[in-house]
Amino acid sequence: MARQARQWRVGAAGIAGVAVIGLTLSACGGAKVGDSSSDAGGSGGSGKCGTFNLAVNPWVGYEANAAVLAYVAEQDLGCKVTKKDLKEEIAWQGFGTGEVDAVVENWGHDDLKKKYITDQKTAVEAGPTGNEGLIGWYVPPWLAKAHPDILDWNNLDKYAAEFKTSESGGKGQLLDGDPSFVTNDEALVKNLKLDYKVVYAGSETALIQTFRKAEKDKEWVIGYFYEPQWFMSEVPLKKVKLPEYKTGCDADAEKVNCDYPVYKLDKIVSAKFAKSGSPAYDLVKNFTWTNDDQNVVAKYIAVDKMTPEAAAKKWVEANRDKVDAWIK
Amino acid sequence: MTVAVEKTEKPEKPQTSGAVEQPAPAKGVRRVSRSMLVAAILVGWLVLFLVLRGKQNLALAAADLTDLHRWFNDVNDSIGANRNSNPLFLYFFNEIRLVIDSLVTFVQELISQPSAGRPVPQIGWLGVVGIAGYVSWAVGNWRVALLAVAGFTFLGLQGLWQESMDTLALTVSAVFVALVFAIPLGVWAGLSDRFNRFVTPFLDLMQTMPTFVYLAPLTLFFQIGPASATIATLIYAAPPTIRITAHAIRSVPETTVEAADSLGATRRQSLMKVLLPMSKRTVVMGVNQTIMAALAMVTIAALIDAPGLGKTVVQALQTLDVGTAFNAGLAIVVMAIVLDRVTTAASAREETARFSKNRFITWRRPLLAAGAAVTAVLAYLSHTYLWAAEFPGEGSTGSTIRSTADSVTTWVQDNLSGVTNAFRDALTNSLLNPFQALLTDSPWWLVGAALIALAVVLGGWRAGITTAVCVGLLVGTGVWSDAMTTLASTLVATVLVMLLGVVFGVWMGRSALVDRLLRPSLDAAQVMPPFVYLVPFLALFGATRFTAIVAAVVYAAPVAMKIIADGVRNVPATTVEAATSTGCNTWQIITKVQLPMARGALTLATNQGLIYVLSMVVVGGLVGAGALGYDVVAGFSQGQLFGKGLAAGLAIVLLGVMFDRITQAAARRTSA
C-alpha cells in the first residue's frame, strides 16, 4: 500500500513538472486555434441557405458540375455544402431520407425516375444541365484515320477478325464498360447481325486505359464510350455511325436496332429541397452550361490534376457572366 | 480472407480410425487407387463433354433475370418504399444508426474533423502522434512505440494527415463495436459446441459474401453516412475475433479447468478466473485480425461515402491517377503495419508479463504516469495551438512518392506490355479457355456429378454431401454458367498461387534472411488496396480475365508463401541433417524430405489460396473478368439487377464453402 502511494506521488510530481514545461512552451507557442482564422466556418453570407447536400456520382464530368455548383453555393450564397460520393442508385435512395438534396448530371435512368419521382414522389426534376450526352461505339483516332470506312457500322464485319482478342471467342470484341452505364449493346450486336461479342471491361477505368493504350500502340479496339468526357481531350475518339435513331426504336430492349438517342442530361432534386426555398435550389434549377464548359473544368481536374475547388474557382472567375445569370 | 483461423479450431479427428491403423504399404496402395479414381472421373467427364457439349449449360445473358432475381428485387423495393412507416425501422434500425453515428462522429471530432465551431479537431497531429506512441509503449514495448510515432508522422509527411485520421476514426469505431459483440459471442462459441456449429455458417457467409452485395441494402437500412460504412466494415471484420476467441477458450488445457473445478470454482468463476485470463493472448491476436480486416474494407466503404484514404484511392482511380492512388494506398499499408505490430507486441507482452516478474515492473508504474503526463501536455498543445493541430508542411514526401510511382508505372507499361501480352495469350489459350469451355459447355448435371464424385474421392462422403447441396443451390441461384466461368479462372489462379507459393515458400523456409527480406513486401501486397494496382495491370494485360487472375494472385500468393514457409521450417532439423549425411543434394532434400513432410502446410495453403482468390472475384469483375464479379458490381450499380447481384454473391459464397469443405476434408485425410 505504502509503495503504491509513493508511486502515485512520483507520478503526480511528473505530471506537475511536465505541465510546467507545457505552460512555458505555451507562453511562446504561436498562433492559437481560432485566433487567426476569423473567416473560419461557413457562417458568412445569408444565413437562410443552410446545408446543401450534393451527391457526387463517380465520373469526372459529373464532378465538374458538382465542383462549380458547390463553389458558387459556398462563395456567393453562403451555403454549407456537403458533398457525398455515391453511385447513382444510392444517391437517388438518399432523396427520401433527406441525405441528398440534388443529383446534378442524370443520364436518362427512366427506371429510377419512375421509382422515385412517379411512385415514391421523393424526387422532382430540376431541368436540363445544358449538356448533351452522346453514347455509342468509338474507335481510337489512328484507326479512324487509317480505315475511314470503319466509322460506318455496315463495314464493321469486314474488320471483325482484326478486333479478335483472347476474350471474344473467335469473334470481334466490342468492349463495354461499367455496369452502371446505359447500354443496349448485346441486343444491338444480335439485331444488326454483327460478327462481334460484347465483352464487359467492368469499369470506366478499364475502358479508358484500353483506349489510351490502343491509341499509343496502334491497337485495334472498338468499344462503348460517351461524351462529354475529359478523356476526349486527351484522345479524341471517333464515333461509329449506327442505324439512325428514331423515336420508339429502342422501346423494346430485346429488339433495339438503332443508335442511342441524344441524351438531354438533367438535374434531379429531392422533393423536400425543391420546396425548402433555399437559394441553393434556385441555383441548381438555373444552372446550365455547355459541353465545352464542362470539358474545360473536367480537364482541369483529370488532366491538370487540380482539386475540384481550384478547378471550379478558375472557371468561375473566367466566366463570371454565366455564373451571375444562375444566381440573379 | 482471414479464414485461416478456422482450420486450427476444427477438431482434428481422424476421419476413419481404421485407416490410421493400417500399415504403411497398404496406405501407399490406397493413395494410388485414389489418384486413379480422380483420373477416371476426369476422363469420363471429358468423354461425355465431347458428346454433350453446349447442351443444358444454363447460360444466362448479362441483362437476363430469373424469377428468384426478380423476387429479390421486389423485396428490396418494398423495404425502400416502407422505410418511413415501418416500426422495425423507426424503433430498431434507426436507433442502431443513431448510436453508431454518434460514436463515429465523436471519434471523428476528436481526431479528424473540425468540431464545435473549431476549424480543427479537438486533438491535433502532435497529440495523436503522442497518444499513439504512448499507448504503443504501454501495451507493447518501446520499439513498437517508435514505429508508431514514425509511421504516424510519415502519414502527415505524405500530405494525408486528415484522410488518415478519418480512416483511423472509422476503423477504431468499427473495431470497437465489433469487439463489443464479437468477444462475448466468441466466448459463447468456445463454451458451447452447439452454438459454435450454429454460428459457423454465418461467419462463413459474413466473410465470403462480397461486400458490394450488401452495400446498397445497408444504405437502405442505415442510410447514407458513417453508420452504414461502419456497419459494412464490422460485418466483414467481426468474424475473426469470434473464431479466434472461441479457439482460444477451447485450447485452454483441460487439466487446468478440471483443477479449477476440483477446487470448487463455479462455472462463472472458472470462466472469469481461468478461461478468460489464459486465453487473453490469443484473443488479442483475434483483435489484430479484426483490425486488419477493417482496414481492408477502407476502399470499399468509400463507395458509400465513407471518408478517408479509401476515398482518395477511389477518386484517383476515376482519372487513372496511379501516383495519387499509390500514395494513399501506401498510407493504408503504413497504418496497417503499425497497428499490426502494436497489437502483436501487445499479445506478446501479455505472455511475458505472465511469466516474468522482473525489476522493471517496479519502475513501470511511475514511468507510465510520467508518460501519460507528457502525452496529456502534447494533446493539450495540439488542442490549443495551430502549429500542433495542423500538420506542418505541404506533404512533399507525398508528391515525391506520387511522381516516382507514376514514372515507374509508365516505364513498366511502356517496356513490358509486349512480353506480358504474349504471356497472357499463351496462358489464356492453352489453359484457361479449354478449361473454361469444359466447365461452361458441359451440361450442368455432368459438371455437378463430376464435382460430387471428386469431392467423395478426395474428401470422403461428408464432403460429397456438402458438395451436392452446394451444386443444387448454385443451380438454384440462376447464375450457374457465370459461376462456372468464375470457377475456371479461380482454379487457374489457384494453380499459379500454389506454384509461386511452393517456389518462394521453400526458399523462405530454408533461409531466414530471404524470409526477413520478403516478408514486408508480402504484408504490403496483402494490405495494399487492389484498386491501386488495377490501372497498371490493365495497361499490362488489358481488360481481360487474365488481369483479374493476376490481381488475385498478387493478393493470394503471400498467404500461400507464408504458410508453406512455416511448414518447411517446421520440418525437424535432425531429419534434414540425416538426409544430408546420406548424401542427398539440395534438390533431393527439398523434393524428397521437406515438401513431403510439409504436406499438411501445402493443403492448408491450397485451401487458403482458393478462399483468398475467391475474395478477389468482385475486383476481377472491374477489370474484365465478367461472370460473377461483374454480376455483383452490376447489382450494386443498377436497381433492376440487384437481385441478380445478390444471387451472384450467394454463388461466390457457395463456391467458397464447397472448396473449403473439400480441401479441409482432403487435408484431414492426407495428414491422418
At residue B80, what is the residue type? G
pLDDT at B571: 83
Q: Say whether residue B325 is in contact with chain A using an 8 A CB cutoff.
A: no
Q: Chain B residues with CB inside 8 Å of A35's CB?
A: 386
> Nearest CA to B238 among B168, B185, B189?
B185
Top residue of A205, A250, A254, A304 to mutate, by most chain B CBs within 10 Å, is A205
**Measured between CA atoms, how close is B602 to chain A, in angstroms?**
32
Q: Say whether residue A35 is in contact with chain B using an 8 A CB cutoff.
A: yes
Nearest to A93 among B80, B366, B641 (CB): B80
Nearest to B373 among A15, A33, A230 (CB): A15
> Nearest CA to B383 among B122, B180, B176, B591?
B122
Nearest to A111 among B369, B388, B639 (CB): B639
Cell of A312: 471550379
pLDDT at A6: 47
- Euclidean distance between CA atoms A215 and A231, whole angstroms: 12
Return the residue of B nearest to A234 by Cα: B319
Q: Chain B residues with CB inside 8 Å of A15's CB?
A: 369-370, 372-373, 376
Q: Is the pLDDT of residue B18 over 80?
A: no
**Measured between CA atoms, how close is A189 to chain B, in angstroms?**
13
pLDDT at B570: 81
Q: Give the 3-state secondary structure of residue B360.
A: helix
- Euclidean distance between CA atoms B456 and A269, whole angstroms: 58
Return the residue of B nearest to A10 by Cα: B366
Q: Give the 3-state secondary structure of residue A139.
A: strand
Listed by number, the residues of chain A in 85-144 with a beta carbon closer than 8 Å to a beta carbon of chain B are: 85-90, 93-94, 96-97, 99-100, 111-112, 115, 119-120
B49 strand-pairing partners: none
> Nearest CA to B147 among B18, B339, B420?
B339
Ramachandran region, residue A10 (left: φ > 0; alpha: ψ -120 to 50; beta: rest):
alpha
Q: Is the pLDDT of residue B590 over 50?
A: yes
Q: Chain B residues with CB inside 8 Å of A8's CB?
A: 369
Q: B305 versus B58: which is more confidently predicted? A: B305
Q: Chain B residues with CB inside 8 Å of A12's CB?
A: 369
- Euclidean distance between CA atoms B506 and B587, whole angstroms: 11
Torsion of CA B145, B151, B155, B156, to 10 degrees: 50
Q: Chain A residues with CB inside 8 Å of B374's CB?
A: 18
A96:B83 CB<8 A = yes
Q: B339 versus B90: which is more confidently predicted? A: B339
Cα angle A273-A279-A284, degrees, rounded to a multiple of 5: 65
A18:B374 CB<8 A = yes
Torsion of CA B364, B367, B372, B377, to 10 degrees: -170
Q: Say whether residue A302 is in contact with chain B using an 8 A CB cutoff.
A: yes
Q: Say whether residue A43 is in contact with chain B using an 8 A CB cutoff.
A: no
Listed by number, the residues of chain B in 364-383 with a beta carbon closer than 8 Å to a beta carbon of chain A are: 365-366, 368-370, 372-374, 376-377, 380-381, 383
Q: Chain A residues with CB inside 8 Å of B428's CB?
A: 166-167
pLDDT band at residue B355 using 50, 70 and 90 as cut-offs = low
Q: Chain B residues with CB inside 8 Å of A305's CB?
A: 319, 321, 324
Q: Is the peptide bond before A228 cis (omega within 30 degrees of 0)?
A: yes
Q: Say whether residue A205 is in contact with chain B using an 8 A CB cutoff.
A: yes
Cell of A278: 433555399
Listed by number, the residues of chain B in 541-560 with a beta carbon closer than 8 Å to a beta carbon of chain A are: 542-546
> What proportion of chain B, given as a percentage, has pLDDT over 90?
20
Cell of A264: 438531354
Question: Under a CB-based contact definition with an 8 Å cutoff, are residues B652 and B587 in contact?
Answer: no
Q: B32 versus B593: which is more confidently predicted? A: B593
- Euclidean distance between CA atoms A145 and A239, whole angstroms: 12
**Measured between CA atoms, how close is B124 to chain A, in angstroms?**
10
Listed by number, the residues of chain A in 235-294 with a beta carbon closer than 8 Å to a beta carbon of chain B are: 253
Top residue of A24, A33, A113 to mutate, by most chain B CBs within 10 Å, is A33
Nearest to B542 among A89, A179, A210 (CB): A210
Q: Give the 3-state secondary structure of residue A255.
A: coil
- Euclidean distance between CA atoms B467 and B648, whole angstroms: 18
Q: Which residue has the cell 470457377?
A: B487
Nearest to B225 among A99, A179, A198 (CB): A99
Q: Is the pLDDT of residue B7 over 60?
A: no
B544:A165 CB<8 A = yes
pLDDT at B61: 66
pLDDT band at residue B351 using 50, 70 and 90 as cut-offs = low
Q: Say whether residue A156 is in contact with chain B using an 8 A CB cutoff.
A: no
A213:B539 CB<8 A = yes
B383:A33 CB<8 A = yes
pLDDT at A256: 85
Q: Is the pLDDT of residue B557 over 50?
A: yes
Length in residues, chain B: 672
Cell of B351: 505472455
Q: Is the pLDDT of residue B33 over 90?
A: no
pLDDT at B175: 93
Half-sphere CA count of B176, side-chain side, radius 13 A: 12
Distances (CA, A) of B398 to A20, B327, B341, B393, B521: 36, 6, 23, 11, 20
**Measured between CA atoms, how close is A202 to chain B, in angstroms?**
4
Nearest to A206 among B63, B302, B623 (CB): B623
B119:A34 CB<8 A = yes
Return the residue of A nearest to B540 by Cα: A213
> What proportion of chain B, given as a percentage, has pLDDT over 70?
92
R_g of chain A, CA atoms, integer Å: 27
Q: Is the pLDDT of residue B5 over 70?
A: no
pLDDT at B537: 87
Q: Chain B residues with CB inside 8 Å of A207's CB?
A: 543
Q: Say whether residue A234 is in contact with chain B using an 8 A CB cutoff.
A: no
Q: Say whether residue A165 is in contact with chain B using an 8 A CB cutoff.
A: yes
A206:B624 CB<8 A = yes
Q: Chain A residues with CB inside 8 Å of B623's CB?
A: 201-203, 206
Nearest to B320 among A18, A85, A209 (CB): A209
Q: Is the pLDDT of residue B21 over 50?
A: no
pLDDT at B354: 56
B118:A34 CB<8 A = yes
Q: Say whether residue A223 is in contact with chain B using an 8 A CB cutoff.
A: no
pLDDT band at residue B671 using 50, 70 and 90 as cut-offs = low
Nearest to B377 among A19, A203, A209 (CB): A19
A29:B383 CB<8 A = no
pLDDT band at residue B328 using 50, 70 and 90 as cut-offs = very high
Q: Chain B residues with CB inside 8 Å of A18's CB?
A: 370, 373-374, 376-377
Beta strand residue intervals within chain A, DSSP E: 51-56, 80-85, 102-106, 123-139, 172-176, 196-200, 222-227, 238-240, 263-270
pLDDT at A37: 44
Q: Consecutive sets of 10 residues in chain A, 328 residues long: mean pLDDT of each?
A: 46 48 52 55 53 90 93 90 88 87 89 87 90 91 92 89 86 87 85 90 88 90 91 89 86 83 91 89 91 90 89 93 87
Q: Kindly tell me the burial class for residue A43, based on how many C-beta atoms sit within 10 Å of its own C-beta (0-12, 13-18, 19 or more).
A: exposed
pLDDT at A8: 47
> Nearest CA to B203 among B241, B170, B171?
B241
Count helices and strands in chain B by DSSP H and E runs = 35, 0
Q: Chain B residues with CB inside 8 Å of A198's CB?
A: 62
In this prediction, residues B285-310 reach a mean pLDDT of 87
pLDDT band at residue B222 using 50, 70 and 90 as cut-offs = confident
Least confident of A271-280, B189-198, B273-282, B499-508: B273-282
Question: Under a CB-based contact definition with an 8 Å cutoff, are residues B338 and B324 in contact?
Answer: no
Q: Cβ–Cβ contacts within 10 Å for residue B256, how many? A: 13
pLDDT at B13: 39
Nearest to B381 among A25, A207, A305 (CB): A25
Least confident of A3-12, B221-230, B319-328: A3-12
